[in-house]
Amino acid sequence: MLVKYISYIEEIWEHFTKKKIQRVSYLKNKAQYKIKEFTLRLGSLVLVKNLAIELSVDKKMKSQYLGPIIVIRQLKRETFKFSRIR
């Protein structure tokens, strides 16, 4: 009985490992054309995608981008600090 249980667990483990590898490769291929490196200078005007509307119900009526926004400084390699124009 225990031998069947162990083989069953190993079978499930292999199945989920294969599925995980397939999912990672799918997401990597899908994001290949979306991920881009930006070289933004201080004072550049940019538009920022409004990710808050992705989960909202009435997303058709809200703007997809916020901006124009000014780049104040670069915090890390791909992280920037922005300020709205007033």
Give the model confidence (pLDDT) of 54-83 as tens digits: 666 677 778 888 889 999 988 887 788 888
Structurally, how many domains does the chain consist of?
A: 2
31 and 52 co-located in one domain = no
pLDDT of residue 35 exceeding 70, the answer is no
Q: What is the pLDDT of residues 18-31, one digit of tens each?
A: 888 888 888 888 77
pLDDT at 70: 92
pLDDT of residue 37 exceeding 80, the answer is no
Give domain status of residue 65, yes or no. yes
**pTM, rounded to two decimals:** 0.46
28 and 49 co-located in one domain = no
> Residue 69's domain spans which residues?
45-84
Q: Which long-range contacts (CB under 8 A, 24 or more apart) does 75-83 make?
A: 78/37, 78/38, 80/40, 82/46, 82/48
